[in-house]
Amino acid sequence: MAGRRVRLTAEVRRAEGGRFRQYVLGRAVGDRDEARAPAPTEEIEWSDHVALVSPHEVWTSATVTPVFRHWFETGELPADLTLRELDL
């Protein structure tokens, strides 16, 4: 996570196909067609950095807590999230 308590971005890194991939977590968008998700236009600031995310990828500490609780308890992310891969 990065940002401030009232405006955060959340990411996850997964081992897939012999390499690590990193994703930005978002809430479901309409019919869950990520191709229709809005372009990243929202700025999340922390320290001297700024990350651009889509509106559905902006979280607060209260809204992201259940996501991480689910992951901690089950080892899986909630199925209704979107994952946008970062090109690192």
Give the whole-angstrom CA distance, residue 37 versus residue 51: 17
Rounded to a whole number of angstroms, the CA Rg of the chain reads 13
Burial of 10 (0-12, 13-18, 19+ CB in 10 A): buried
pLDDT at 32: 54
**pLDDT tens for each residue of the chain, 88 residues long:** 777 778 999 999 999 999 999 999 999 876 555 556 678 889 999 888 899 999 999 999 999 999 999 999 999 999 999 999 998 7
